Amino acid sequence: MQNAQSKVLEGVKVVDLTTHGAGPCTTRILGDWGADVIKVETFAGDQVRYTDANMGIPFDENLCGPHHDLYNANKRGIVLNLKTDEGKEVMARLLEKADVFMSNSRLKALTKFGLDYETVSKKYPHIIWAHLSGYGTEGPDANDPGYDTVAYWARGGKLADFCEKDTAPLVPPIAVGDLATGATLAGGIAAALYQQAKTGKGDKVEISLYGSSIWNMGSMLLGLQYNKDLQFPKSRKDMSPLVTTYPCSDGNWVSLTMFEWERFFPIVAKMLGIEEYVNDPRFADVDTAYENRDIIIPIMEEKFKTMHTAAEWDEIMKENDLPHSVLKHMKDVLTDEQAFANNYLYRVTTRTLGDCYLPAAPVQIGGNFAPRFTNAPLLGEHTEEVMKECGYSDSQIAEYAAKGAVKCWGK
């Protein structure tokens, strides 16, 4: 079924000079929403083409694996050598017709090729110039290479403080910050497109992995400024007794998130068979309960650990409408009925591995339908097609290819 959300950016043209994760993710979402995204690659290709090999997924360097589809589906692909005059000329023609130019190259590289904001906005005042960096465009680290695991996770404090207290740093999950940052930037570009539609003028839209990490840490950063007792990393037993995790009889865990102590503690106490603590002044409200957490958490933990399995606790807490979840592993998401019911995961056919499941962009527009999907482009798959749209003849395309300025798939 065609997804209504795939048409909301129909008619928008995007020139995509991005690599790796966060940048391609941004333009992938724009493509999901119907934009005509032209991915510009070097002769070596975007490094995300080779991510499958690093993840132990069967890999064919001449085709597009599932990681390339994850970041670059719903795009067309062209290969340019921007070190040649001819390659620069083709890029200029693309930008003349584009609504958005998106890049995650460092600013010194963009300036070298005349693709910095000042140059592009002067030549093409209609264009939205969107840029994604590791640490932002100002400050002492503006030109440092920044990837998800270093700029988002390590610099943002997550590796050191999201682990259990007195343990080794967290092992960073790959590309989580990339995907979160890319989704945010896609929204920013959409806002700029709205302004462009009204005024005909472009704008500068910027984001960084580090800035995205800080935004996502906002609640904790506020707490650290005003609460001298708030420290990270934490032990789970440093938390409120109703906002922490407990082991169950089968070795699995449940997570509770119940901020309203007076509302929820009587229900939980009855569920655990410890009603005598409901009227105990040590646990009268959230503050006293927190002060006495060393007393009540072990009592609650013993009940959770001995009375029921995680699945049984899940049913009991659902019956009582308690905010909670059984802790799942990432592999469990691939069989989660809730994920498929909402099309958060959907089946696609890759060029190399047959069918697999891809995650959908988190914003749904127009209803709950399986997202629009076309495979990520082969290296230079649409070079001829796109160049012809820009006014080049077959003979010119062949000439430019012979000079090493462009590359066409299979030639």
Partners of 36 in beta bridges? 13
Is there a contact between 252 and 329 (Cβ–Cβ < 8 Å)?
A: no
Residue 204: what pLDDT? 98
Tell whether the model's pLDDT for residue 2 goes beyond 50.
no
Please give the positions annotated as active site: 178
**Bridge pairing between strands 128-133 and 100-103:** parallel
Is there a contact between 373 and 358 (Cβ–Cβ < 8 Å)?
A: yes
Tell whether the model's pLDDT for residue 4 goes beyond 70.
no
**3 half-sphere exposure, CB direction, 13 A CA radius:** 25
CA–CA gap between residue 232 and residue 368 (Å, rounded): 39
pLDDT single digits (tens) 45-85: 898 888 887 777 877 777 778 889 999 999 999 999 999 99
Report which of 132, 119, 74, 112 is spatially closest to residue 92, judged by C-alpha positions: 119
CA–CA gap between residue 245 and residue 233 (Å, rounded): 15
DSSP string covering 95-152, please? Answer: HHH-SEEEE-S-HHHHHHTT-SHHHHHHH-TT-EEEEEESS-SSSTTTTS---IIIII
pTM of the model: 0.91
Name the band, by pLDDT with cuts 50, 70 and 90, for residue 5.
low
CB atoms within 10 A of CB 268: 22
Partners of 78 in beta bridges? 40
Q: With pLDDT > 70 as the criterion, what percentage of the chain qualifies?
A: 99
CA–CA gap between residue 111 and residue 105 (Å, rounded): 10
Residue 126 phi/psi, 5° resolution?
A: -80, -15
> What is the rounded average pLDDT of the residues 154-170?
91
pLDDT single digits (tens) 207-260: 999 999 999 999 999 999 998 778 888 888 889 999 999 999 999 999 999 999
Q: What sign does the dihedral 195-197-200-203 (CA atoms) show?
A: positive
| Residues near 119 by beta carbon (within 8 Å), at least 6 away in sequence | 111
Name the band, by pLDDT with cuts 50, 70 and 90, for residue 6.
low
Cα radius of gyration (the chain): 26
- Angle in degrees, CA 126, 129, 134, rounded to 5: 175
pLDDT single digits (tens) 92-144: 999 999 999 999 999 999 999 999 999 999 999 999 999 999 999 999 999 89
Name the band, by pLDDT with cuts 50, 70 and 90, for residue 176.
very high
Report which of 154, 115, 119 is spatially closest to residue 134, judged by C-alpha positions: 154
> What is the rounded average pLDDT of the residues 257-270?
96
> Amino acid letter at 366?
G
Give the three-state DSSP class for 356.
Answer: strand
